[in-house]
């Protein structure tokens, strides 16, 4: 499984996903649906951004993502 895994490309895809969430248009919904959409977008951005900032390593078939939560 780890053969052919390009860690830099994987991280780049998460950078792209985080940017796509930022550009995501708000659908024409209101009220609770609007709040739920915004909350989901915020969570998506956080998740994608965390992985985008990770330092990946692959050792003996184990993928490790190191995320420095001390960075501002």
- Which stretches of the chain drop beneath a pLDDT of 50? none
Looking at the domain assignment, is residue 47 inside a domain? Answer: yes
Looking at the domain assignment, is residue 26 inside a domain? Answer: yes
Looking at the domain assignment, is residue 72 inside a domain? Answer: no
Taking the C-alpha atoms of residue 43 and residue 40, their distance in angstroms, rounded to an integer, is 5
Looking at the domain assignment, is residue 1 inside a domain? Answer: no
What is residue 72's predicted lDDT score, i.e. its pLDDT?
A: 55
Domain of 50 in residue numbering reads as: 7-66
What pTM was estimated for this model as a whole? 0.76
Looking at the domain assignment, is residue 2 inside a domain? Answer: no
What is residue 57's predicted lDDT score, i.e. its pLDDT?
A: 94
Looking at the domain assignment, is residue 11 inside a domain? Answer: yes
Q: CA nearest 69: which of 59, 54, 56?
A: 54
Q: How many domains does the chain have?
A: 1
Looking at the domain assignment, is residue 71 inside a domain? Answer: no
Looking at the domain assignment, is residue 21 inside a domain? Answer: yes
């Amino acid at each position: 499984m780890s053969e052919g895994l390009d860690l830099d490309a994987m991280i780049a895809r998460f950078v792209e996903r985080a940017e796509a969430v930022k550009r995501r248009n708000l659908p024409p919904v209101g009220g609770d649906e609007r709040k739920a959409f915004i909350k989901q977008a915020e969570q998506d951005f956080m998740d994608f951004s965390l992985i985008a900032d990770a330092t990946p390593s692959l050792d003996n078939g184990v993928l490790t993502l190191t995320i420095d939560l001390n960075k501002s």
